Structure 1
């Protein structure tokens, strides 16, 4: 596994004054920079294994509550995270970017495209959903397993939801997608509520950016049926399902997933 990113943080100021850490890597090229949005309760290190797959300038952020960003103990929301994203783009002097969000990052990406359409040239939504009211949710059995008070047991369940057993046998970890261990408990709770409260169904038809939806066929953490829902709801979007992949399709199946993203982004 690649070493964690050494890119130094810089800090944007959100509308409410919170400092949001961001990381800019890669050389400028002919294509717009690519903004990468991580999953719930994770920092930018979520993207470390695959960031170099994208031969362009990339931007990551630490959501409020995670990484080096401020961690106010107050309600968070996916539209609020989207506002933080735009503060980062303003801080970096970037008018328009391509956006690739996975899991909760895909939920945040939906709001960036809905609320700030002029900032998004192209959109990739991975292993995500439109929200609880219309989306397909994980089972109660999975929810109970993830509520286990034993941290090691929770991590094992989460790793199994992310990766196939055969891949885990060959790659014993540590895994960069199991959460930011330095996050305070209250911030993890705020992230969980923000993700669970996401509801963008009514606004999805207003998305104007060309959109690719990616999902692993064997994802039960965010069921794969959500991919077709999103692709049908967003004008002219297309869905690609990656056979045999679970939630962290972009990591385990990066040889398939990363070319799908780069080829799509080269087209607009």
Structure 2
């Protein structure tokens, strides 16, 4: 059976731009389209999460425009990213998807479903928030601080961006980062500097924009986060669950932005129940 570590990297022509992607899981059923975090490429997904969901559902991973193996220049707005995601789904000839948006990918998922609601069955929004949400802008300063801490401690910036600084949180960060190395062949290229700048601009723009009317999103939505998220403050998850008319909420205690990775077993169980 194909796994996260062994899935073939394919490419598709999306309006003249080469997008790279991977598929795994069963061939039948509505596929789960994964939408990634800031600078995230396919190799940055947690294998436990991907393989766990792919055990029951078709899964599609892809690199956004200008990231990893996908050509082009990275968009500087969430709406442009959503347009790309819709075009990618159409290029694959898929009639309906479930959306899984983590962090920046959660912003894109919201823009996607508001643009093309008929393409979507269900939505998972993890570690994310609504347009104009509290504390979303200014992520560049958080990233700079995390890089400074990483340099001083010999750790990875994700230790500080995704996990709490408790012993338990840092141990979870170690385990998560170790899992990201399980795919050893045909790995993605890292994000380029210009891509990082464009995506930070997109996040700042989303955080500084006016709130959108989420009451029109009638799809089932599963919102999840850690209770100590500093990248997209946890209050935004509560706000999403309140404003989306058909939402359920799961908050993991004593965890940060990467709570779904720290508690991947429980989260996958919850996600599979939701996606049935």
TM-score (norm 2): 0.82
Deviations 1:152-205 (A, max 9, x none): 77963432231343253373634649xx76222111111111122124722322
**Per the alignment, do residues 200 and 250 of structure 1 end up closer, same or farther by CA in structure 2, a change over 3 Å counting?**
farther
Q: Which aligned pairs between 1:3-152 and structure 2 lie closer than 5 A?
A: 4-14=5-15, 17-29=16-28, 31-49=29-47, 50-54=49-53, 55-72=56-73, 75-131=75-131, 133-137=132-136, 142=142, 144-146=144-146, 148=148
User: Structure 1 CA distance, aligned partners of 2:229 and 2:154?
Assistant: 17
**Per the alignment, do residues 226 and 191 of structure 1 end up closer, same or farther by CA in structure 2, a change over 3 Å counting?**
same
Question: The residue matched to 1:230 in structure 2 has which SS?
Answer: helix
**Per the alignment, do residues 68 and 143 of structure 1 end up closer, same or farther by CA in structure 2, a change over 3 Å counting?**
closer
**Per the alignment, do residues 144 and 208 of structure 1 end up closer, same or farther by CA in structure 2, a change over 3 Å counting?**
same
> Which residue matches 1:245?
255
> Which residue matches 2:185?
none
User: Structure 2 CA distance, aligned partners of 1:155 and 1:13?
Assistant: 38
User: Structure 2 CA distance, aligned partners of 1:205 and 1:191?
Assistant: 27
Count of residues paired in the alignment: 258
Is contact 2:133–2:211 with CA below 8 Å preserved after alignment?
A: yes
Is contact 2:222–2:248 with CA below 8 Å preserved after alignment?
A: yes
Is contact 1:20–1:61 with CA below 8 Å preserved after alignment?
A: yes
Choose 102-111 or 144-153, whichever is displaced more: 144-153
**Per the alignment, do residues 219 and 134 of structure 1 end up closer, same or farther by CA in structure 2, a change over 3 Å counting?**
closer
Question: The residue matched to 2:219 in structure 1 has which SS?
Answer: coil
Task: Indicate the RMSD between aligned Cα atoms, in angstroms.
Answer: 2.8
Is the counterpart of residue 228 in structure 1 residue 222 in structure 2?
A: no
> Which residue matches 1:184?
192
* Contiguous gaps of at least 5 residues in structure 2: 182-187
Is contact 2:122–2:275 with CA below 8 Å preserved after alignment?
A: yes
1:258 to 258, 264, 268: 268
Is the counterpart of residue 205 in structure 1 residue 215 in structure 2?
A: yes
> Which residue matches 1:156?
156
How far did 1:99 drift? 0.7
Choose 5-14 or 233-242, whichever is displaced more: 5-14
TM-score (norm 1): 0.84
How far did 1:150 drift? 7.9
